[in-house]
Chains A and B, each alone.
Chain A
Amino acid sequence: MNDKIAELSATLANPLGLHARPSVKLTRLAKTFASEIEMRPAGEETWIDAKSIVKVMAVKATKGVILQFRAKGSDADEALAALKALVLRGFAEDPGLSEQTEPLNG
């Protein structure tokens, strides 16, 4: 096995935090990788499955929370790089855009 273990963190910047739409995007992206991927908000003990929307939503991470990711598997590095990029661009569809659909004063 050429399993690798990788770990990194990213700060949630979008206004509503890790809400429904970002959680759908995050879990969908995680599922495209073969590696086991886990996440947790910095400061929490328990890691949760980043491919489970039930668990990801249950974190109820709000804006400003630092998310830690770890992955184990052949594509662990790629998985973490992709997830970090998604968080850093505010869950926008395309790299380079920030999420535009949040309520303006919400």
Chain B
Amino acid sequence: MDERQIVGKPASAGYAAGPVALLSQTAGAPRTGGDRDIEMGALDSAVAAAIDDLSPLAAKAEGDGADIIAFQIAMLEDRALVQPAYADIEAGLSADEAWRRALDRQISDYESSADDYFRARATDLTDIRGRVLAALTGVKADAPLPAGAILVGEDLTPSRFLSTDWSRGGGIVLTRGSASSHVATLARARGVPMIVGAPLDLGKLASGTQALLDGENATLWLNPAPSTVHSLTGREGATAAVRIEEDERRLLPAATADGTAIGVYANISDLGEIASFDIGGFHGVGLVRTEFLFGRGSRLPSEDEQYVAYRGLAEWARGKPVTIRTLDAGADKPIPGLTLAQETNPFLGLRGVRLSLARPDVFRVQLRALCRAAVHGAIEIMLPMVSVPGEVEQARRYLREEAQALSALGVAYREPSLGIMVEVPAAAIAIERFDADFFSIGSNDLTQYVMAAARDDSAVGSLNDPMDPAVLRLIAQVAAHAKATNRKASLCGDAAAEPTYIESLLRAGLRVLSIAPAALGRVKEAIARVDLSRSAT
């Protein structure tokens, strides 16, 4: 086979070598159908297998999660769900096609409901559809993607990324996708090489094809020639040397050339990440995304599960501050059974703290777990997507009530300080209205909302610029307000880890940056090059 070279757009740096694993193929091959009795039998066993998969979850689940699973099982057990598929099989369709049609009708029926609650049930039906389809096509629904492989497909969901084992290397090549998508952020945090917009014909690519991936130069080689492998392996060695050099800089104090101290904090997206680095080089954790606890399986995490996770983080941080963001679901981070399935514009919809305030039953559990874990370390709570002061006030009321409830029960707790993400322009513009204990600028969302240019749309990528004067002016305003009122202001978006942006961010008045752990060396190096005693060049 001849070597082929494909160039896309860079999304996450690094090198990977391994076999191609096609993402579409992990969904299983379609059945050919033919024999009606065999197809009927296959559908029955697939439904039974889906119930078997769910039953142990139902036994473990609590509260809302248990209700969701009980509902899904009850639906699967109801013959009325399968009957339309039987009729289609009778008419000659394969079991998977018949099932898909039957469920698609159900799903569109729920999606067309005027009631938010019933509309959201479409997600449960989608879940059920997927489970049975997976059983029909011989793939486990939650089957992890192969470790060490280069995953190639149209797009990849954040939950698929999180359920993949990246400890043995591997990379991501997407024909669509965007460097500013949620999954690209995750890839950079994990150091997984990733390219997007790769001009590949997926239909002509086979799983198992040997491939090399260079994330920085956005290049994929298929069937690479030995000379290509050799030159790239050499470069991999070179980056390893650069990494060690960066590592040596990790423990240096973070300060500019003129001696201004800068706080450098870590962003954590998953508990699995804390095993891979030491908190030593950081002043603390500026952002813990808690979505990793939610949306695994079909149930929501219990208070105790959350408590154990938060306590583990607090103890790992050895007394350094750990800012935990409350659930930021919605928009590009859907959670079955919680977020709304069919919003016309999810990025302007029920997401972040808006969803938490709409679902206090879920929100209060998280606040209670955080109050309990705060006994074990310097936990701070941060609210995402705050738009008006009333949201902070309502969240603070819930926090107080949960703390008081724990106190009344005699449970050990501490009420953490409560800060906000500044990512909605309304909050950045009128920042003085917000009674928050600290501010953290979410530059990814702030940029896309200020510039009205989506993060994941490459066609407007040049507009999605965190260095635009309009965005920088808002950042400067938030930093100035925080300084005047003696509160902490940090920036925790991807911009904080981009060496070429750091001087502008520091000149805008920021003194705290929160970054993906892998970027520590290069960020400290970039900080050291800035001289704030001289005017900008």
Give Cα A52 to B282, complex, Å. Answer: 57
Chain A residues, CB < 8 A from B63: 101
Give Cα A24 to B74, complex, Å. Answer: 7
Chain A residues, CB < 8 A from B524: none
Among the 9-residue stretches B112-120, B131-139, B162-170, B483-491, the one with 4 or more Cβ atoms under 8 Å from chain A is B112-120
CB distance from A21 to the nearest CB of B (A): 5
Chain A residues, CB < 8 A from B113: 60
Instruction: Select from chain B the residue with minimum beta-carbon distance to A20.
Output: B71
Give Cα A8 to B25, complex, Å. Answer: 53
Q: Which of B478-502 contact A (CB under 8 A)?
A: none
Give Cα A27 to B118, complex, Å. Answer: 17
Instruction: Select from chain A the residue with minimum beta-carbon distance to B70.
Output: A24
Chain A residues, CB < 8 A from B358: 103, 105-106
**In contact, A54 and B71 (Cβ under 8 angstroms):** no
**In contact, B80 and A20 (Cβ under 8 angstroms):** no
Contact count band on B? 20 to 34
Main secondary structure of the interface of B (DSSP, over half): helix
Q: Which of B34-82 contact A (CB under 8 A)?
A: 63-64, 67-68, 70-71, 74-75, 78-81
**In contact, B360 and A24 (Cβ under 8 angstroms):** no
Chain A residues, CB < 8 A from B74: 23-24, 27-28, 53
Contact count band on A? 20 to 34
CB distance from A26 to the nearest CB of B (A): 10
Chain B residues, CB < 8 A from A73: none
Give Cα A102 to B68, complex, Å. Answer: 14
**In contact, B360 and A103 (Cβ under 8 angstroms):** yes
Give Cα A18 to B390, complex, Å. Answer: 32
Chain B residues, CB < 8 A from A49: 80
Given contacts A49-B80, A57-B121, whether A20 and B68 have CB atoms under 8 Å apart is yes
**In contact, B359 and A55 (Cβ under 8 angstroms):** no
**In contact, A53 and B117 (Cβ under 8 angstroms):** no
**In contact, A21 and B67 (Cβ under 8 angstroms):** yes
Chain B residues, CB < 8 A from A16: 117
Give Cα A102 to B109, complex, Å. Answer: 24
B361 beta carbon closer than 8 Å to chain A: yes
CB distance from A49 to the nearest CB of B (A): 7
A1 beta carbon closer than 8 Å to chain B: no
The 8 A CB mask of B271-313 against A (1 = contact, 0 = none) is 0000000000000000000000000000000000000000000
A104 beta carbon closer than 8 Å to chain B: yes
CB distance from B358 to the nearest CB of A (A): 6
Residues on B facing A (Cβ under 8 Å)? 63-64, 67-68, 70-71, 74-75, 78-81, 106, 109, 113, 115, 117-118, 121, 124, 357-361
Of all A-B residue pairs in the complex, the 6 with the closest CB atoms, nearest first, are A20-B71, A54-B80, A52-B80, A53-B74, A21-B67, A60-B118
